[in-house]
Amino acid sequence: MACRTFFFAGGGTGGHIYPAIAVAEQIVRIRPELGIHFFCSEREIDAQILSQTGFGSTRLPAKGLVFRPGKLFSFWKSVVASYRIAREMLADTPNAVVVGVGGYVAAPVCWAGHRLGLPVMLLNVDAVPGRANKAIGRFADVVFLQFEETRRYFEKYKAQVEIVGCPLRSGFGKALAAKAIEQLGLDADKKILLVTGASSGSQSINEAVCSLLERLDSFSGDWQIVHLTGRGNFQEVEKRYAGVKIEHKVLGYYDDMAGLLAAADLVVGRSGAVSVAEYASAGVASICMPYPHHKDMHQYHNAARLVDVGGAVIVDDLADLAERAGWLWEELDELMGDDAKRREMAANCGKVATTAAAEAIAEFVCGDF
């Protein structure tokens, strides 16, 4: 009998792909003979991330749902094309198992797997599931969740629901900060303010921080900045740092987030589900700036978990730059100047940190399911 092959489906952001990679790595560790393949989007970030894993991948033309006449037709056309590609590959693979990890790429693949009678599993790490995951939940056999409060969105379906936490790549919770400090040429004697907009970057966070650089110079004696801009914003942000007194490292992208978060003393960043789980597992105080344009505001719900235990504060990503930057400065000024407060916040992260989710999911799917 042929060994199983796990087809992970999702993409468009690191928040979808990284948890899938974490589970895939654990599957291979437990059962090296099992196959792994990824269905991802056509966005460059997917190819960049997956190219470092050694896992095979297939790009699908799936697009996000937009409720406009011209865009709606294009959306359904991309879904049908993605469904056909996925169905053909799944049908030709004995003992295939589908694992949806969120987003518009996951839906057509999971639907194809369901129509073929294959086991379909869903990994949902956001506190509030998106449209695609809600749809997949209708025919999934098992749903893995990060938060207990998310159960209510899926309990009306037939799926078995497992609360496991957020799968993180190996290294979180035990990574050595020294590796990132040496690799980036940072000052080991200075504290690190990490600014990140997640895998694709955030223009609004970049603008807010850059508008505060003169004020941040007041911390130049004890602090340094690592600013992850997103590849598309790198040159613009790098120019804004010209002549800045505080030591800094501006990067478009950095892959070893485990090491960098372990080294960081304070983080300013988005609150996607994976980002929040990474802050918690690394045990680092954070200023969360949730993405403000999701209708369900799920990044606020994600951040609330850390805020509730005292591990983070929220700054709204306000439309007005002066108001946004002013609020951010209030939190930066307080936290960068208060070592005891940051240490307390870092310790509080342990109340919600999970480091064994990927292993738990891998052991489950490698069992008799």
Q: Which CATH number fits domain 5-168+355-365: 3.20.20.70, 1.10.10.10, 3.40.50.2000, 3.40.50.2020?
A: 3.40.50.2000
- Would the pLDDT of 198 be above 60? yes
102 or 307: which carries more pLDDT confidence? 307
In this prediction the pTM is 0.83
Q: What pLDDT digit, counting tens, does each position of 293-350 carry?
A: 777 778 998 899 899 999 999 999 999 999 999 999 999 999 999 999 999 999 999 8
- Would the pLDDT of 218 be above 80? yes
- Would the pLDDT of 64 be above 80? no
* pLDDT for the residue numbered 355: 79
DSSP annotation of 4 reads P
3-state secondary structure of 360: helix
* pLDDT for the residue numbered 15: 79
**Amino acid identity for residue 138 in this structure:** R
Cβ-Cβ contacts under 8 Å for 328 (sequence gap 6 or more) = 208, 209, 212, 268, 287, 289, 315
Q: What pLDDT digit, counting tens, does each position of 146-165 carry?
A: 989 999 999 888 899 999 99
Cβ-Cβ contacts under 8 Å for 137 (sequence gap 6 or more) = 122, 124, 129, 143, 153, 154, 157, 159
Q: Cα(205)–Cα(323) distance, rounded to whole angstroms?
A: 13
Q: Cα(62)–Cα(337) distance, rounded to whole angstroms?
A: 47
- Measured CA distances, 120 to 29, 97, 115, 361, 363 (Å): 22, 6, 10, 14, 16
Q: What pLDDT digit, counting tens, does each position of 246-280 carry?
A: 999 999 988 888 899 999 999 999 998 889 999 99
Is 177-349 in the same CATH topology as 5-168+355-365?
yes
The domain segmentation of the chain, as residue ranges, is 5-168+355-365, 177-349
3-state secondary structure of 191: strand
What is the CATH number that goes with domain 177-349? 3.40.50.2000
**Amino acid identity for residue 192 in this structure:** I
Cβ distance 259 to 177 under 8 Å?
yes
Q: Cα(143)–Cα(150) distance, rounded to whole angstroms?
A: 11
- Would the pLDDT of 288 be above 70? yes
**Amino acid identity for residue 20 in this structure:** A
Q: What is the pLDDT confidence band of residue 173, given thresholds at 50, 70 and 90?
A: low
- Would the pLDDT of 58 be above 90? yes
* pLDDT for the residue numbered 96: 96
